[in-house]
Amino acid sequence: MIGDPKYPLLSKDGDITIGALFPIRSIETVPSFVFTKKPQPLSCSSVNLRDFRRAQTMIFAIEEINRSESLLPNVSIGYRIYDTCGSRLSSMSATMALMNNHNVAAGDTYTCKQYPIHAIIGETESSTTVILSRTTGPFKIPVISHSATCECLSNRKDYPFFFRTIASDYHQSRALAYIVKHLGWSWVGTVNTDNDYGNNGMSIFLKTAQEEGICVEYSVKFYRTEPDKLQKVVETIKKSTAKVIVAFLTSYEMYNLLEHLSIQNITGHQMIGVEAWITAKRLITPNSFHVLGGSLGFAVRNIDIEGFENYVTKVFWETAFPCLHTEGNSSQYAINCNIYRDLLVLKSFSDDLPEQRYASNVYNSVYAVAHSLHSLLNCKEGCEKDLLIQPQQVAEALKQVNFTVKMGESVWFDSTGGVIAQYEVINWQQDSDGSIQFKPVGYYDASLPPDQRFLLNAENIIWVGGQLERPRSVCSESCPPGTRKATQKGRPVCCYDCIPCAEGEISNETDSNDCKQCPVEYWSNVEKNKCVLKAVEFLSFTEVMGIVLVFFSVIGAGLTILMAIMFYSKKDTPIVKANNSELSFPLLFSLTLCFLCSLTFIGRPTEWSCMLRHTAFGITFVLCISCVLGKTIVVLMAFKATLPGNNIMKWFGPAQQRLSVLAFTLIQVLICVLWLTISPPFPYKNMKYYHEKIILECSLGSTTGFSAVLGYIGLLAVLCFILAFLARTLPDNFNEAKFITFSMFIFCAVWITFIPAYVSSPGKFTVAVEIFAILASSFGLLFCIFSPKCYIMLLKPEQNTKQHMMGKVPSKSY
């Protein structure tokens, strides 16, 4: 070896040597390089109590094994523990020193009975462990870390000789996302250490958070030597709206962040932490609870090692600490006791011992190496000490170890060189005396079934600021039932607007992404959270419009019956005889039916009512128009018969008139029978016109059939109108043709306007339009044809004479 050797901080000779790297001090002072003289050695300061305890744990475990009669019974284990000062430079220097025999100078010959080192315990941080593993990897020296959790180290291709007695961050990172999801937080910020540990852990968290629907407002990182980046991180936290921060930091970066947050009085953020800092005693300061109070995080299980407390407070200082003893098992190097002065102040300090969560990991690491050596040295009653054990053999043996330590914990390594993930969920709480306590409030155990791995007792948690109520951290408040989430453009999916569901759609859950379409016969209620049956609409007898139409139908039928009674009582009078009483009574009867048939259009449509309403309308109106047509023909023939030698009336007497009416009506009956046989009308739920209600109506079945019925009625009406128009100028004081012409004009006008009104009217108004057309045309026929006669019979009886009918009333003389 050329140059000054680097000596271990703590060491002991043995048959087998285990190396270790711990950042026992955290601040490294680099000497000035003037290049005119040899640089001074690097100096370290600021004792890191946690890692000093880990070094003590390693020595405690080795001494315990050396005393054991069952494990390596006649083999002594030595150790060389280096202080890396939390520096990558010192870590590399210590690694090179471990792999070389520091007693051999350049040019000397050295006979190797055993390798200088058989395994290395360390490092504490993932980044330095990566450097350590990459450096020792080509020499196949196994590295066993007690706290390096980076998932990157699970890659057996890059790190085939790396083992750890702590779980990979793969489980912790995913568990962080699960705890955020479990507590209902969908809007978080993240900050991580800018090294292998923080970057890999945060990468897994962000991926899992995305899978779980958690949105990240910001994701920032910094390293302990980057104050500018740290300041930007603090500014980002200050401006953010997220009330939850997932801090994937080491205790060093967390301490720096805590200082800046305290100085700027940035509080009110719920911290979610990792095992690296959640139980770090160095973070407990007078002002830290204002920032970190209520913090939640995962910690390595706290397992008490029997006899350890007595050892570190008494035995260690008497037997293993340099400068306080001169036994032959101490380091043989010239020791400058000044470098141990800052450690001596810890001799009587024990307040931190109840929170030594990594001590069991170091303990298990040492025992894993011991069990590997036990199998390699063929230890039974004794061990074959003369066997040359290579570090690679130790690495292969480590893959096979499976033992239980005295605390009852089973130790074995999986295919990645790691152990099963088992964490406690820790909550920062403050006791009545103001002291900060790390209270367990749950656990995560990857060895259990998936649905039993995570448990959180939320009722035992004290939240940020000492509050008992869980804080909320959402970008947008939950969308209530009846609305759906609409993502805001350019923002994460957790930032959304609540849009009311459209008509006919519902959402019956909170935070629905989509609204569900109601079934075809259902519609959304006012709150849009339930589908209800659509209102069924039809023209009923109980509504105002139905009552009005029934009233006019009954009035029309009643007036028609009254006129029929009047005509019957006056049947022997000249005016009744002169106006063809043979057809007047059938006409009045058919008009009565016309008025009454409109009632079939009112009420809930049924199969029979649908068939009845259209056929009854068609037949009664043809009967009515046939009677009018007969009367018109009679008027024409009556005047033709007055011509000399014309006996045409004998061919169109009362019998022929009734027969013609019957014939015209039978044709309509035949059309209706064909219609009902081929494609009859039927009840139909019309849901096309209105979305929110069902129009219960009668479908025509066959549009052709309905058109034929209306067309036949129209044909007769037009024919009647033409004949009446031709007969309007015939001489007579009471020429009925003029009244028939006017009635047919009203009839045709009503039904011509009916067609567009029928087509354009919505819902029950379609039926109302049809009833109105029936009533209007019926009233038109009734009043135009019969009211003049009733007027004479009731108010002008003196005109009800044969002479007046014949126009032979004598003139008055003056």
Quick: pLDDT tens for 562-617: 988 888 887 777 777 666 667 788 888 888 998 898 888 888 888 888 888 888 88
Task: Work out the average pLDDT over 492-507.
Answer: 90
Residue 650 confidence (pLDDT): 57
Residue 732 confidence (pLDDT): 54
DSSP 450: G
Element housing 177 (H / E): helix 169-182
Cα separation values, 636 from 189, 582, 737, Å: 101, 16, 8
Higher confidence at residue 669 or residue 30?
Answer: 669
Output the CA torsion sign for 776, 782, 783, 784: positive
First CA to last CA distance, the chain = 167
Q: What percent of the chain has pLDDT over 70?
A: 90
Using the predicted structure, report yes or no on whether residue 553 has a pLDDT greater than 80.
yes
Using the predicted structure, report yes or no on whether residue 645 has a pLDDT greater than 60.
no
Confidence band of 58 (pLDDT split at 50, 70, 90)? very high
Confidence band of 716 (pLDDT split at 50, 70, 90)? confident
Bridge-based pairing state of the strands 496-500 and 483-487: antiparallel
Task: Work out the average pLDDT over 441-460.
Answer: 90
Higher confidence at residue 156 or residue 760?
Answer: 156
Q: Amino acid identity, residue 361?
A: N
Cα separation values, 707 from 625, 668, 722, 757, Å: 17, 12, 22, 16
- Alpha carbon distance 200, 29 (integer Å): 29
Task: Work out the average pLDDT over 278-304.
Answer: 90
Using the predicted structure, report yes or no on whether residue 808 has a pLDDT greater than 70.
no
Lowest mean pLDDT segment, chosen from 2-6, 221-225, 474-478: 2-6
Using the predicted structure, report yes or no on whether residue 143 has a pLDDT greater than 50.
yes
Using the predicted structure, report yes or no on whether residue 392 has a pLDDT greater than 90.
yes
Place of tokens 């994701």: 219
- Angular region, 210: left φ>0, alpha ψ -120 to 50, beta rest: alpha
The length of the chain, given as a count of residues: 814
Going through 238-385 in order, the beta strands assigned E by DSSP cover 244-248, 270-273, 296-300
pTM of the predicted model as reported, rounded to 2 decimal places: 0.66
Q: Is 233 helix (H, G, I), strand (E, B) or coil?
A: helix
Task: Work out the average pLDDT over 679-700.
Answer: 84
Residue 483 confidence (pLDDT): 93
**Nearest alpha carbon to residue 681 among 767, 594, 759:** 767
Residue 414 confidence (pLDDT): 93
Residue 640 confidence (pLDDT): 60
- Alpha carbon distance 297, 425 (integer Å): 6
HEC string for 583-619 = HHHHHHHHHHHHHHHHHHHCCCCCHHHHHHHHHHHHH
Residue 803 confidence (pLDDT): 64
Using the predicted structure, report yes or no on whether residue 257 has a pLDDT greater than 90.
yes
Residue 222 confidence (pLDDT): 95
Task: Work out the average pLDDT over 429-438.
Answer: 88
Lowest mean pLDDT segment, chosen from 552-556, 599-603, 644-648, 694-698: 644-648
- Alpha carbon distance 181, 495 (integer Å): 16
DSSP 734: T
**Nearest alpha carbon to residue 160 among 398, 364, 365:** 398
Residue pair 632/606 in contact (Cβ under 8 Å)? The answer is no
Residue pair 654/582 in contact (Cβ under 8 Å)? The answer is yes
Residue pair 541/550 in contact (Cβ under 8 Å)? The answer is yes
Residue pair 287/255 in contact (Cβ under 8 Å)? The answer is no
Task: Work out the average pLDDT over 624-652.
Answer: 68
Phi, psi of 754 (to 5 degrees): -60, -40
